[in-house]
Amino acid sequence: MAARALLLSLLSRQRLLLKAQGFRQRYPHGWLVWEAGTWNVPHAGEEIGTTRLPLNEIADCLPQSDVLCFEIAPPRSGTLKLGRSPENDIVINDATVSREHLELGFEGERPWAKPLLEASETAVNGVPMDRIHLTPLVNGARMLVGGVALTYHSADGFEARLEAHAERLAGEAGDTAATP
């Protein structure tokens, strides 16, 4: 079952509309946030290489602050798989990410991560991960999966991020309204 994926801007608006309690009832789990950065979707038949900057003709169309957020809910059985392949629960379609890169699981309510390939570039808070040990994910853990930056947030931590994002958007809207 694929993890629910939503844009941060949409979740910020829902948080404002639902208030804290309603939002927490709808989204009670932690989140994995695909942070903004350069991104490359591999083209059919293209060899996998490093992430590259977007084409000039679309660079100005890319959102400046929006990011993709994946709800990390404990699966009914087993673990969640993260990678470039569309068969994964969490799809990170970037050329620097392996087809099946990472496994996410839970010990009770506590999430953990483990790379699926020894050779895959995977680190949490700058510490390389290995296939033998489960790496616990705590609020604010910064993961590097290939060349993609991900941040894990607990439910409380994610709500705090949404509040900060909503305040920043409200401030930008106020600045725009004040400009003649």
Over residues 124-133, the pLDDT tens digits come to 999 999 888 9
CATH 2.40.10.10 at 5-35+66-165, yes or no: no
Burial 39-75 (b: 16+ CB within 10 A, else e): bbebeeeeeeeebeeeeeeeeeeeeeeebbbbbbbbe
Q: What is the mean predicted confidence (pLDDT) over 37-48? A: 56
What kind and span of H or E run contains 57?
Answer: helix 56-59
Domain ranges in the chain? 5-35+66-165
Strand segments, DSSP code E, in 12-84 are: 30-34, 68-72, 80-83
- Tens digits of residue pLDDT in 4-37: 999 998 898 888 888 888 999 999 999 999 998 7
pTM: 0.80
